Structure 1
Amino acid sequence: MAIKTLVVAPYPGLVELTASLKAELKDFDIRVLQGDLSEALPLLNQIHLEGYDVIISRGGTAKLLRDHTYLPVIDIQVSGFDMMRILMVVKGYQSKIKMIGFPNVIEGFISVSGLMEVDIPYATVQHEGEVDEALRVAKAEGVKVIVGDNITVKKAADYGIQGVLISSGKESVLEAFAQAKTIYNISESYKRKTQAFETLLDTMDVGYAVVDHTGTVQFSNAAFDGWLERDDEKNGLFGKYPVIRRFVEDLERGIALELRMTADAHRPFVVSGGVLARSDRGNTYYLKAQASDRAESGIRIGYASRQDGSFPPMIREDAGFDEAASAARDYPLAVYGEEGVGKRLFALHRWNSDPLGGGDMVEVDVLKSEEASFRALTALLETGPEEQFVYIRGAENLSLADQKELAPAVRRSRCRILFSFERSPDDLKADNRLEPRLHAAFKRSLGLPPLRERPDDLEEYVRTFLIMFNERYGKQIVGLRPDVMQALRRHPWKGNLFELRDAIERFVKQSDGEYVESDVLPLPEWVSASEAAAPAEGGGASGDLDLNKTLVEIEKDVIRLVLERENMNQSSAAKRLGINRSTLWRKIKQ
């Protein structure tokens, strides 16, 4: 197969010389394009589309092309024969002579002219914009003849100076094609290896990508595209996922924690990564996306949005949060309460209402003690700015030794730190789950009561959730029948606001009239995250399957429950469901 080669010839003579050599270059499919520095760059997009393997050019044009294309660019050198020919021509001039050009063209001339005892002054230029100034200086010096490359000779005529073009001979052009063939063969070898690796990566269910400092994806495998879809390449990965930009910024600060994300309601996943290559033009990063159950880190991170849509504004800005929030403004602070009482909502409320809350709210989930993650967490606290709000869940999952080491980092931190627990810090300390030094670092601990202790709030919350889900599902439900409302008042609400939200969503989806009727009863038993992760006794199904749903919806619920009971381990869940892992992957993605 012929090597598809583009020759960008800065002067007409190079076009003619290349054309005359085509018979000797049978391994090449050659197209010659005449253009200098200013003419070559606008043609690059078309050049890339036409699928060339290599570009051959000369002087400043070659240098410019190399800076703006991913294709290999071979520079036609000026050989010793070329230099001697030009020097023999200009040697007889009685008028004042000067050489002006790019270093890669005239530096050889400087050495050869010295050997031949031809004393020619010179000036080098680094880019096209410097040529005019060099010519003005030469004119003022009384120079009559300029020896230089194409752009210099062309402009010399505008100053009334005779130009002598430094041209390349046959030997130099043939040598450039020989280099092109060598580079092509090496490139093809690497290309085959790269294609093999890309094919292999596409068979994996762990996502991999390489991105630059602007968020432009330079490579991604199929699994990565499954986790993080990109519908607007112009804005890159950062455009659709601003949290990835924030994650990359933290990588630069040495904070390499796994980023917690969700593709949809049933597909939590994490992103990890690092710096792949450093450059003055901007660093390149690798990203790795995988299911939460396969994550390696003991600590995960997330970045909250001020437009958090998990709960309506009426609940996010609850007056109870205002009262509790105003009770203590000193940090670090601890908040505690049952699952779903609104600890995260309390944190969001404080963040939004904080006078210095202009930074991020960073959410940290501590799953276990793990050295690298723990070091990243302490770096996050010790390097974060004063306006940064850090919400930490699960600090009691750290070893007591790590908690002891974390305590001084918490005290030194300028960040606004809010710890979250399901039990009171005093009880955790008494049970030896919370290290005394970390406990002593809290300026104050605030408890949030469960929903069953706030019966007066229940009806207000129900109305708010009705409005939210009416808009989401296009319904016009105005209320609940009295027996349904009575059942809600009697319910223990183990899942608190989460359970109430899910219940009202189910009511709205199942109801077609203006009221929620009693056929939505009885309320299913709430299964907490910890209970869902434990194996079911006797292998029976969970009680919160809704047989009024469609078969597709029930299947999704079954998959979700089995994944939860298998601690989100897809291999174990697939085995339990009697399907292979790829089928489970496909059903999760539906």
Structure 2
Amino acid sequence: MRKVKVGFISPYEAMLPLIDELAVEQNDLEITRAVGNLEAGVALALEMERNGADVLISRGGTAKMIREAVSLPVVEIHISGYDLLRSIMLAEGHSNELKALIGFPNITMGAASIVSLLELKLEVVALSSATEVDNVLKGLKGRGVKQVLGDVVTIDAAAKLGLSGLLIQSGRETLLEAFEEARRLFWYAEKNQQQLRSLEMLVDRWQKDVVILAEDGEVLFERFPSFQEMPISHIELMELRTQVLASRTALVKLHGDVQPPFFVSGELLEDRSGLLTAWTFESLSLEDNHSAFSVAQPARLPFIVSESAGMKQVRQLIENHEGAEQSLVLVGENSTGKQTLAEYAHVFHDRKGLVLTVEMAKLKHPLPVFQLPEQSTLVLAADGLMESSNIRLTEELIQSFQSADLQIIATVPVAHERIVDVLGSPLVVQVPPIRERAADIPYLVNQLLTEYHQDLGTQPVRLREEAMALLTDHNWPGNLTEMKSYVRQLALAEKSYVIEPQAVKALPFEKKDGATPRLPLNPTDSLKEIERQIIEQVLKEENDNQTQAAKRLGINRATLWRKLKD
């Protein structure tokens, strides 16, 4: 008997490792999974339908939209009490700020019971319609709520308002239930699906990212195997279509202001029902690992832990800063969060432009003159003492900008006199190292546990008080870089929900001796154990950058993640 082909569309990335882990045990299922929420999820579902899926699985609003768009049976993943309890406990240990859980009654009834039973300070708000989300979030923000628990749509809406979001994730129990429901639905609908598959076999499969528009501009066909979704807006596509129809010739446009850059190509197709336009999208691979600058546009206020007296003062100085009228110099050891504080200043003062970060030590040649948008921020970043030539190029760079409203922020280990002179009379703010932020450490650790749970699907949600005390007593010579690496190793190694003191004692802290440590290999270890040690060492050397680590190891990022979970 053949395997049931299941298409799993997850609305968030962190569900993928759990799907992969459980899929190994589903011997009668052939599971293809992808990440896409709402419209993006529908596009993935249509592609899976074309590629021969028997049953589709998704969650929440995405599952409902998919059910309306495809002819396949669709299983909707429900949020269980276990899922609610995990998320609520994560939020409880994250910070002392006001929090709220938002959802429809099928979620909030169970959440309210948990909150009441455990006597937690968490407001539970029930929705009757998806259109209420924005108004509810605005009301919560006005009452001082800082963090919101909810589904993907709620978290995205909260981010636009500057609120921190914690996604309620589905656990293994609900996924196993979904797989069982997929089996039942498949055998029920197999006869109808056989007829549909016979028609799909006649469809020509074009392996490029493509959109075909009818004469009236309606989308007839779309496929995005590389980009996951159309990389330009519908309005821009309509403008390009007008140009092609007017000129009656093919069009090629380069989008070079994004990473990675890509080409859009459009041409006319003559059909008996009218003129069609066909559009393809192709990435332009530009390898430049030595680039001295990067551009970003932060969408929400970065989360800053400021329970310690030192960080409270830093936050107060930044928030009371005069903005573009006075430059800002953030002074502190490497990896103390200066870049995040610079972005915090940009968003807090409601600056609508871009954040251009320049690594001053990498300035080897003069950069071209940038015409930044109004209300942009220039971040001059330095990890250590620089040569005079780098400082001179930095001075020239500052003078080359023409924006009338440019905020300049320097993030440096020491306040270079020449940089201070060039900036005029900047406000100099000393950012304390982690060893001077004992009150912040529990919140930083819990924040990292939350991030790894959300991004990597790790199990632990908190530390025992004795275990947290061990982390608080450590002086963290590597600051946040060391803390992220250490907590990440703890989270990946722990298979239960609570990290005990023994786990901390068994994992030695990094020794800071100025030299790259040699990896001690025990010849009695298994090949699998040695492989894991090597992977963890490379990750540490790459500051937990999984993409760079995978490149050094000669494997893709998905394989790297799977090896860490084994």
**Shorter-normalised TM range:** 0.3 to 0.5
The higher relative CO (CA closer than 8 Å, separation ≥ 6) is in 2
TM-score normalised to structure 2 length: 0.42
Q: Which has the higher helix share?
A: 1
Larger radius of gyration: 1
